[in-house]
Amino acid sequence: MSGASRPTIDKWIDRYAAYGIDGLTSGTSPGGPRTIPGRIRGRILALTRQTPPEELGISHWSSGKMAAYIKKTEGVSVSQPWVSRLWRDNGLQPWRQGTFKISKDPDFEEKVRDVTDLYLNPPEGDAVVSVDVKSGIQALDRTQPLLPVDFGKSEKRTHDYKRNGTTDMYAGLDIVTVRLRWDSHRRITLRISCG
């Protein structure tokens, strides 16, 4: 056992002496028994997937807040690093958030089917163009030129900039030819030739 401490080696020798080869392969830890009950693990995992109670005044769980809440509600002490490890082992990241939107349009499903069908089966000889806009893009200019990549150094840019307001970007994609036309003005002109 390279790198094992003398007490760890002694524990394994004692296990072998007491249980034979089964003591080395039983799957149990040579250390003490697990001190945090399975129900507490389950409770933490369940709570993590829920919005924290309003009385806590937080929008999402942190490992420290979870540890304190479990101590208060369950009377069991768990450490902040232990909660972090439990989350990591179970693929939970409660500090990360995303967004979604569900349409309230009662005809939404039918409209999605129409658009999807148009993309999958475009009419022969006609152009199908998907147009989108990204609004409110910051128009920034750096106050100094970039410093280029050099041996052992990454490209560098100054942190200060000059604001030039905002702009909108419009883009149109011909889904058959996969040609993209974009512009950052109020209007986009698509020139499409068919045939």
Alpha carbon distance 11, 1 (integer Å):
12
Residue 126 domain boundaries: 108-183
Q: Which of 36, 57, 89 is the last residue of a domain?
A: 89
Counting residues of the chain whose pLDDT is more than 70, the rounded percentage is 86
Question: What is the DSSP annotation of 53-110?
Answer: PGGG--SS--HHHHHHHHHHHH-----HHHHHHHHHHTT--TT----------TTHHH
Task: Give the number of domains in the chain.
Answer: 2
The bridge status of strand 161-174 relative to strand 129-142 is antiparallel
Q: How far is Cα 143 from Cα 150, in angstroms, rounded to an integer?
A: 21
Q: Is residue 163 over pLDDT 90?
A: no
Identify which has the larger pLDDT, 84 or 8.
84
Helix H or strand E encompassing 117: helix 108-120
Q: 137 vs 24, 104, 164, 170, CA distance in Å?
A: 62, 28, 10, 11
Average pLDDT over residues 13-18: 78
Residue 188 forms part of a structural domain = no
pLDDT band at 42 (very low <50, low <70, confident <90, very high): very high
Q: Answer yes or no: is 146 within a domain.
A: yes
Among 22, 56, 89, the domain boundary falls at: 89
Residues 79 and 122 in one domain: no
The domain boundary residue, chosen from 38, 59, 89: 89
Whether 56 maps to a domain, the answer reads yes
pLDDT of residue 34: 57
* pTM recorded for the entire structure: 0.44
In tens, the pLDDT along 46-90 reads 999 999 999 999 989 999 999 999 999 999 999 999 999 999 999
